[in-house]
Amino acid sequence: MNLKERAAAKALTYIKSGMVLGLGTGSTTAYFVDMLGEKVSSGELTDILGIPTSKETAEHAAKWGIEITTLSKHPRIDIAIDGADEVDPTLNLIKGLGRALLREKIVEIHAEKFIVIVDASKMVSRLGTRDALPIEILPFEAEAHIHWLNALGCRAELWLEDDGSLAITDNGNYLSKCWFEEGIPDAYNLAQKLSTRPGIIEHGLFLDMATEIIIAKEGGVEVQKRKKTNSGV
């Protein structure tokens, strides 16, 4: 069992029959959906409802027979399970390199518990030091949004597919990747600027949202809990 699978297996121990679950997007969460699906198929877990954060996750869960629902029907989620691209010492996150950051944030702010599953490589001293910050932007005047992002002290580019075409989200928007040479000095300040800029649909800073981080390491699995929970950004 690899590290991602170990983290996913630990997350599965939190799940009980009758729960409404937020189902994240990405390779680590895919392991969790497989393990959850096996429990549902065997009858070990019953009456599980899933709210997926992407079309990909919805299709994956449906193949296992996991019943899909919506926030309009179930606005209270018991637990959301998702991965992260980076986790800092205060359990703030960068997410969205799986291209689903907007839907992830919408679903996960409705969760009583938001449990993040990662391997140890995702732990960083400062956000933005390991990976780019993904940002979902409006297609209208996309280059103008990129120009503005570059004025924030980062190198911003439109996210391109391998064939050179523009990456498109499930919502029909474009994506940008923003690289910070020395990481993000003030994630809260940056999140505020991004949240108030027309044309910036959503950003990959998930601040004060995670309640627990499950970290799979070579020596075992560690769980870190947030000391206090504030409103998400």
Cβ neighbours for 51, distance < 8 A, ≥ 6 positions apart: 20, 21, 22, 23, 68, 69, 70, 71, 74, 77, 107
How many C-alpha atoms does 70 have within 13 Å on its Cβ side? 3
Cα dihedral 22→117→91→204 (10° resolution): -60
What is the residue whose two structure tokens read 């291209």?
99
Specify whether the CB–CB gap between 176 and 158 falls below 8 A. Answer: yes
Domain ranges of the chain: 3-121+207-222, 133-201
- pLDDT tens per residue, range 96-113: 999 999 999 999 999 999
State the average pLDDT for the chain.
96
pTM score: 0.95
Taking 60 as the threshold, does the pLDDT of residue 230 lie above it? no
SS (H, E, C) the chain: CCHHHHHHHHHHCCCCCCCEEEECCCHHHHHHHHHHHHHHHHCCCCCCEEEECCHHHHHHHHHCCCEECCCCCCCCEEEEEECCCEECCCCCEECCCCCCHHHHHHHHCCEEEEEEEEEHHHECCCCCCCCCEEEEECCCCHHHHHHHHHCCCCEEEECECCCCCECECCCCCEEEEEECCCCCCCHHHHHHHHHCCCCEEEECEECCCCCEEEEEECCEEEEEECCCCCCCC
pLDDT value of residue 227 = 82
Write the pLDDT tens digit of every residue in 48-97: 999 999 999 999 999 999 999 999 999 999 999 999 999 999 999 999 99
For residue 84, what pLDDT is reported? Answer: 98
Token pair 């924030």: residue: 152
Residues 122 and 87 sit within 8 Å (Cβ to Cβ): yes
Annotated active-site positions, please?
A: 104
Q: How far is CA 28 from the centre of its chain?
A: 11
Q: Which of 218, 233, 228 is nearest to 188 (CA)?
A: 233
Encode pLDDT of 181-205 as tens digits.
Answer: 999 999 999 999 999 999 999 999 9
CA distance 82 to 93: 11
pLDDT number for residue 225? 97
CATH of the domain spanning 3-121+207-222:
3.40.50.1360
Q: Could you tell me which residues are beta bridge partners of residue 156?
A: 178
Judge whether residue 232 has pLDDT over 60.
no
Q: Does domain 133-201 have CATH number 3.40.50.970?
A: no
